[in-house]
């Protein structure tokens, strides 16, 4: 009599999470390798997270973490990787023996997507609009690809200044020192698109070789991508490919198998 196939319990902690594509993506990845997964969505407020996470993770193979908990989860873990330390954020949790580890695959997932689109990063001049956790999560991976420089523009310039102090080759640009230069890559990393808005874009930033990229996907990315195209950006992409990229890297951490996407 054949033994029953093991089903691996996975999940996503966030608030809200009902809209997430992660169950679909990871179930699709698992099917390619003949792996059975039960991928659950766990909605938890910041106050609920510690108890819900500690109870749930004991019987789980691992989990993903999304907003607003990428920093909140860190005190609940035993260790985290160097790239999670650099990003000061965790999006993937896994067991190593009896200890819980946190990693961050967001930045490398972005790089995978950009590389799949033949977007050159070495020597690139980059502008990131937004200075929150998403930006902090992608800067180390972009720097590792030897971009020339990263400018960071944020409504609260002190947040951008903090990232300038933390990372090499990064400069906070405020209203008073807006640069008049063309960028090779402009990344939108704020939540404005979820409200149907786009950050202001200056025509000096964009020429016929500029690539625009929104870390959001679907309708939330449309305002920024539309604004970039109107200023003649060469290409404009949403972050769906990054979502698949970071998920593929998380899947590899859990199962030592890396799906193509």
What's domain 7-104's architecture? 3-Layer(aba) Sandwich (3.40)
> Does the global pTM surpass 0.95?
no
Give residue 2's pLDDT: 46
Q: Classify domain 107-241 at the CATH superfamily level.
A: NAD(P)-binding Rossmann-like Domain (3.40.50.720)
In percent, the amount of the chain with pLDDT more than 70 equals 96
- pLDDT over threshold 90, residue 1: no
Give residue 49's pLDDT: 98
Give every CB contact of residue 67 below 8 A, 6+ residues apart in sequence.
Answer: 14, 15, 133
- pLDDT over threshold 80, residue 125: yes
Give residue 5's pLDDT: 65
In this prediction, residue 172 has a pLDDT band, given cuts at 50, 70 and 90, of very high
Show which residues are catalytic: 70
Question: Where do you find CATH 3.40.50.10860 in the chain?
Answer: 7-104
Give every CB contact of residue 249 below 8 A, 6+ residues apart in sequence.
Answer: 92, 105, 108, 109, 112, 258
Question: Where do you find CATH 3.40.50.720 in the chain?
Answer: 107-241
Per-residue pLDDT tens over the stretch 29-57: 999 999 999 999 999 999 999 999 999 99
125-129 and 185-188 strand pairing:
parallel
Q: Strands, E, within 104-207: which ranges?
A: 125-129, 149-153, 170-172, 185-188
163, 119, 253, 146 alpha-carbon torsion, rounded to 10°: -50
Token pair in block for residue 165? 């102090």
Give residue 67's pLDDT: 85
Give residue 82's pLDDT: 94
Per-residue pLDDT tens over the stretch 185-204: 999 999 899 899 999 999 99
Over residues 146-167, mean pLDDT? 95
62-65 and 99-103 strand pairing:
unpaired
């Amino acid at each position: 009599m054949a033994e029953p196939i093991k089903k691996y319990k996975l999940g996503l902690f966030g608030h809200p999470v009902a809209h997430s594509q992660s169950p679909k993506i990871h179930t699709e990845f698992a099917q390619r390798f003949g792996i059975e997964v039960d991928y659950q969505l766990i909605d938890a407020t910041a106050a609920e997270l510690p108890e819900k996470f500690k109870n749930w993770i004991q019987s789980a193979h691992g989990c993903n973490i999304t907003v607003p908990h990428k920093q909140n989860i860190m005190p609940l873990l035993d260790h985290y990787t160097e790239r999670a330390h650099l990003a000061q954020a965790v999006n993937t949790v896994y067991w190593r023996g009896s200890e819980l580890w946190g990693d961050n695959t967001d930045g490398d997932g972005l790089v995978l997507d950009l590389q799949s689109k033949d977007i050159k990063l070495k020597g690139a001049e980059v502008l990131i609009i937004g200075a929150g956790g998403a930006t902090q999560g992608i800067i180390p991976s972009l720097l590792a690809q030897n971009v020339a420089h990263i400018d960071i523009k944020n409504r609260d310039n002190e947040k951008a200044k903090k990232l300038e102090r933390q990372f090499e080759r990064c400069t906070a640009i405020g209203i008073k020192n807006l640069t008049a230069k063309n960028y090779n890559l402009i990344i939108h990393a704020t939540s404005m698109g979820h409200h149907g808005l786009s950050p202001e874009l200056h025509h000096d930033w964009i020429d016929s070789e500029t690539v625009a990229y929104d870390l959001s996907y679907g309708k939330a990315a449309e305002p920024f991508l539309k604004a970039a195209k109107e200023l003649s950006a060469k290409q404009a992409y949403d972050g769906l490919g990054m979502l698949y990229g970071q998920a593929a890297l998380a899947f590899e951490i859990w199962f030592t198998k890396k799906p193509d996407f």
